[in-house]
Structure 1
Amino acid sequence: MSDCRLYLITPPAFDPQAFAPTLAAALDAGDVACVQLRLKDVPDDAVRRAADLLRPLVQARDVAFILNDRPDLAAELGCDGVHIGQEDTPYRQARKLVGPDAIVGVTCHDSRHLAMVAGEDGADYVAFGAFFPTQTKDAPTRADPEILRWWQEMMEIPCVAIGGITVENAAPLVDAGADFLAVCGGVWSHPDGPAAAVKAFTTLLAG
């Protein structure tokens, strides 16, 4: 059995009211470690509305609720943490905004150097990717599973694999040592629906 768990990322655009039951059903279908609310190019109030609606149903299931990019809003909205990219708020500033107990994860693309810096700064996890082609975002880098192996030998801090991950292609990333699989399209666009996808991932990761 692997220790790897599922890290769900919300779709790129959605209506929070309509999406809430879909998310609840997906969370109830298997083991999910956390949900990242990722809304790009929308007003702050749209992020607030989505977070206020989705955070309670995520946290009620003992799942961490993480906001993408915005440590200021993460702190304001009662999120469990924030995920920051290399172009976002620097780690130390993000940490100051969310406090010592919140989760702060950092995108490190395919860079061992960026990962080491994030780890030394105190990040709670580092994210490597993209491992596969992805429609969700414009991925500037392509990572090799070898970087997961290297990280596991070097560091205790968990690593997240991200980018085009599906039930069908995930196994090599689990074998290489990913602690979490960050999945978006591989769940929400699954032909049998999101709940079936989470169930399939849960079975795969329990194998």
Structure 2
Amino acid sequence: MTDEIPREPTQLYLISPLDVGGAFPDRLARALDAGPIAAFQFRVKDIDQHEAARLAEPLLRVCSDREVAFIVNDSIGLAKRLGADGVHLGQDDGSIEEARDALGRDAQIGVTCHDSRHFAMEAGEAGADYVAFGAFFPTTTKETKHVAGLDLLEWWQGIFEIPCVAIGGITPDNCAPLVRAGADFLAVSGAVWNGDEEAAVRAFNAAIKAEF
């Protein structure tokens, strides 16, 4: 019997609040410096691409200086304009093929799969770099239409090599079962930005480390 290959430790995937103006670049720097954090997703709504690019550029520099991947939510065009590390696509945000053509072979392309094994398998077959499942817990960050269970992470981890991201209402206090079930990344937003971002990042990493 061969020994099972040990999993890489779960990592944090930080998602921006909707308001990223003002002093937010300083908050982002503090959060990343409290790391480790694997990636930061720039997520804004209802503003044009010019304004989004203006807000994103200082955040992109903060991430680049710390070698943290900068992922743009929803917009392939904005990701290309910024020279971002990748894009995160919802089910209605364009295809992986379009994103790959626009952003290149090395771009990180993730896909929201909600609670759907079918969506996740389709994304994997189409060349996604990661799939995101959720929401696992109630969240105030966005409306919850889909609820995912731990069995989804266990199933994915047991069959596929593409990393999976858990999202939705995740806190340092409730993340341990997700880590144990096989989440490669924990996507977190409100639990970090609604309080002291440094303390939250440290608490998340301590909770993760306790499971490995």
Fold similarity call, TM over 0.5? yes
Where in structure 1 are there 5+ consecutive unaligned residues? none
Bigger RCO of structures 1 and 2 (CA < 8 A, at least 6 apart):
1
Instruction: Read off the aligned partner of 1:97 and give its amino acid letter.
Output: A
Alignment partner of 2:127 out of 112, 122, 127: 122
Matched, 1:6 2:12: yes
Conserved 8 A contact 1:7-1:183: yes
Determine if the alignment matches structure 1 residue 194 to structure 2 residue 200: no
Check whether the contact 2:31–2:198 (CA below 8 A) recurs between aligned residues.
Answer: yes
> What CA deviation, in whole Å up to 9, does each residue of 1:62-87 have, x standing for no partner?
11000000111101111100000001
Cα distance in 1 between the residues matched to 2:97 and 2:191: 32
- Cα deviation digits, residues 87-128 of structure 1 (max 9, x gap): 111221121111111000000000000000000111000000
SS of alignment partner, residue 166 of structure 1: coil
User: Which shifted more, 100-109 or 38-47?
Assistant: 38-47
Task: Confirm or deny that 1:65 pairs with 2:82.
Answer: no
Q: Name the amino acid aligned to 1:98.
A: L
- Rounded to whole Å, the distance in 2 between the matches of 1:2 and 1:52 is 31
Alignment-derived partner of residue 182 in structure 1: 187
Unaligned runs of 5+ in 2: 1-6
CA contact (8 A) 2:20 2:55 kept: no
Give % identity.
54
TM-score for both structures, normalised by structure 2: 0.93
- 1:140 is paired with a residue whose SS is coil
Match of 1:157 in 2: 162
Per-residue deviation at 1:14? 3.1
CA–CA distance in 2 between the matches of 1:65 and 1:14? 14
User: What TM-score, normalized to structure 1?
Assistant: 0.96
Select the residue among 112, 119, 123 that pairs with 2:117: 112
2:18 is matched by which residue type in structure 1? P
1:205 aligns with 2:208: yes
1:139 shift after superposition: 2.1
Match of 2:141 among 136, 149, 168: 136
1:43 aligned onto 2:48 = yes
Deviation at 1:2, TM superposition (A): 6.1
